[in-house]
Chain A
């Protein structure tokens, strides 16, 4: 087996169009995983290897995180290519969960943009040490120094330059390595031949000054280096050790630079990955022991310990479902039996695979720290697999509830079957994508985290599953809630010959104080006025009533239902009678509890030149938004706002036209907020009209 210490699991994460797919492609080329270079939007029509889906190739964006294994100077590196769009945040977050380190790619012209901020925030949450790569130094307007400053100011990184560029824009020739103090040039048709030279005379002073900055910044992570600096005995090893210590503690971000497109700076970056990002033994991984009230257990990167692995990604391949796993502890061999902690099912490991974007390599075993893939395992994304019957679960990943839904309809019978297959697959792959059939309209509804999120799945249905679908208007996931307590005393009585139905329930409903729970049932029945066997029936009845509010037909949340009195009949009372009584009681009280409509509020971050600030404020104001803050830095400003999701449709077009395409935005779900009275009335009117139309049919 290869030494765990010679293993790296890294992600390449950044803003869209900062060139991360091109960068991955070059990494594959230099590590001899591929033998020719294709561009993302290549003229050769092949597309970059890491962009495994056709749609991604066409749009020039990366949606699914393709994992691939490469070898660099004796180290085994698993690279996960992650998406940059926030609409696919779950993909990014899931990748970050299994990574030990990451390369944050930034564009030397665009710098740190709002999506980089979101991605960086996610990396911080998962405590991922990172190094930065300032790409596109060959572009007009490239300024890696400015981007490094932005890393400090906007992202709060303690960023230090490891290199300085030799020339910029079309004069970019190579980089000066501030550790070895040598100039590096990239020769050969694809930059594969590295040539080291003395630093050009005109860059000597600058290189010295930047090296001083580097030493000052990293010396605080190494007493040895500090001493060596005093004695003027600084060695390359001492500097690298200090940079590694700072990076692993996430208190330092080494900054590399170059141009992936022009084949410059990639090999030193790969060296940086090996030298400064952690190996799996340097990262603490925690599992929850489900037998001990979710007690945290530290997993050991020891191949002889019982196996614990996490399924972090599912993909539908040519040969069936492919499950990407990260092994946290123990060893996994072909033929081993694993236990799926969620489904409580055991299964046998058939084929064990190492993936290289679209091609694969059969392996007989994989060890802790590694990323591998399994074939034909029935599981969902986020499942934990263990050896034997260890009831451990990897820390559950935060999965937000979907905020937007869309009705879809297959165009023909053929598409109908394919659509079902696609939906089944997507909902297993992506926990933020959900689907159900609306019992009233019999329409298939898909739900997700944003317009683009759902759009991409509709496209994938068409391309990968040949399922042409018609799409309805996006629908916001409203909720209903109550504003005050209301009592009920409801009798359900029916006498239609034979045994009748009788149940009376009394009590009250009131809003829950905390947002954490949606429903609480309280039984305060004394003296058996409702027999114990019918108490769960009341609970069930209330829950049924919550499924659909009477205002606009959306689920009701944040309710406490308490029963304190009632009556039963020895012959006519039944489970069904008490359920029906509870539903009736709830509806009676609901009307008097000042019900309100709640809507998803998004946290929106808009970034653009200050000159368009007024327009940005206006767009938010027009959309019922609340501006929380405006941060100005030089010529750029970032506006943070809270805006109802229902007002965000078409925002990108609106923003583009008002800012000459110079501003961009990201959004994520924040909370549910009360809908204003006038809009609430409109929604109620529309719902009533819809019901009348349906009744008339």
Chain B
């Protein structure tokens, strides 16, 4: 399969159709679930799809380890190219990594203003015209809800979309049947697109909980394969 065909046939097209053509510049999207369900995999797959379409992506992580993030991208790309028999995979890989930057922060030490200032430095001084910023493992609570407002202002100013994978600060909080925790629900006001992830039988189901500002509860006709960690169409067979 060549790159163009891979993009056209990607399950991410179904994903985009589900949310009316994509998140859109200046908007905030959130993937949320309990720990260990597959938020990072989804986030990296969404980012990889953007990279394949020549978009520029900044991945913001709080893991203290850049290598860990890099290997997520390597693994997801490898799985996509293996399953879809991507032609000239090495060249495509080398081409797309040029459009990706990983920025790693220790969230407990760095305030949102500092993160925004670093993102701005990367985009303006570093000449990296980002189309999307992916915040991986961002901790949301009532205390930092204003952060979301600042990030939205920044997204609008820079004309880019922002995706988050969000965990609750504690696992003791209540979750609904779609994998959305109570604290995240509280912050729904700031979020344009909210997707919950839950384990169902042998896969992870994606449910659209908020769609472009509208509260909905819509099954996305997509699933996350726990083996390959790729987003798939619901009717596609799981990797064994």
Contact = CB atoms under 8 A, between A and B. Distances in A.
Interface string A660-678: 0000000000000100000
Interface stretch (B37-45, B105-113, B195-203, B215-223): B105-113
Interface string A587-624: 00000000000000000000000100111011011000
Q: How extensive is the interface on chain B, given as a class?
A: 20 to 34
B170 interface: no
Contact of B102 (A615, A620, A629, A637): A629
A195 B120 CA distance: 56
B116 to A, nearest CB: 12
Contact of B118 (A613, A626, A634): A613
Contact of A621 (B97, B98, B125): B125
A189 to B, nearest CB: 44
Nearest to B119: A630
B221 to A, nearest CB: 35
B144 interface: no
Contacts of A614: 120-121, 124-126
B101 to A, nearest CB: 5
Contact of A615 (B64, B103, B125, B127): B125
Nearest to A515: B90
A621 B114 contact: no
A220 interface: no
Contacts of B104: 629-632
Nearest to B121: A614
A627 interface: yes
B122 interface: yes
B190 interface: no
A71 to B, nearest CB: 43
Contact of B121 (A153, A613, A628, A629): A613
Nearest to B69: A629
B109 A630 contact: no
A170 to B, nearest CB: 30
A91 interface: no
B128 interface: yes
Given A632-B114, A632-B118, A620 B126 contact: yes
B66 interface: yes
Given A632-B105, A632-B106, A627 B122 contact: yes
Contacts of A468: none
Interface string A623-666: 00011111111100100100000000000000000000000000
B125 A617 contact: yes
Nearest to B94: A673
A672 to B, nearest CB: 12
Given A610-B114, A621-B127, A626-B98, A633 B109 contact: yes
B101 A627 contact: yes
A632 B126 contact: no
A304 to B, nearest CB: 45
B64 A630 contact: no
Given A610-B114, A610-B118, A628 B126 contact: no
Interface string A306-337: 00000000000000000000000000000000
A634 B127 CA distance: 24
Contact of A632 (B69, B101, B110): B110
Given A628-B101, A629-B66, A630-B118, A617 B126 contact: yes
Contacts of B106: 632-634
Contacts of B70: 628-629
Nearest to B105: A632
A506 B99 CA distance: 42
A621 B128 contact: yes
Contacts of A613: 118, 121, 125
B93 to A, nearest CB: 13
Nearest to B59: A629
B128 to A, nearest CB: 7
Given A631-B104, A634-B109, A640 B118 contact: no
Contacts of B97: 626, 628
A629 B122 contact: no
A617 B125 CA distance: 6
- Which of B70, B122, B126 is most buried by chain A, counting CB atoms within 10 A of its CB? B126
Contact of A617 (B64, B66, B121): B121
Contacts of B127: 617-618, 621
Interface string A174-190: 00000000000000000
B128 A627 contact: yes
Nearest to B122: A617
A366 B128 CA distance: 59
A624 to B, nearest CB: 11
A80 B73 CA distance: 41
Contacts of B101: 627-630
Nearest to A153: B64
A654 to B, nearest CB: 14
Contacts of A673: 94
Contacts of A620: 126
A632 B66 CA distance: 11
A620 B125 CA distance: 10
Contacts of A633: 106, 109
Given A617-B121, A627-B128, A632-B104, 16 more contacts: A153-B64, A610-B114, A614-B120, A617-B122, A617-B127, A618-B127, A621-B128, A628-B97, A629-B70, A630-B103, A630-B118, A630-B122, A631-B104, A633-B109, A634-B106, A634-B109
The 9 closest A-B pairs by CB, nearest first: A617-B126, A614-B121, A614-B125, A629-B102, A621-B127, A629-B66, A618-B125, A631-B104, A630-B103
14 contacts: A153-B64, A614-B126, A617-B121, A618-B127, A621-B128, A627-B126, A628-B102, A629-B69, A629-B70, A629-B103, A632-B104, A632-B106, A634-B106, A634-B109
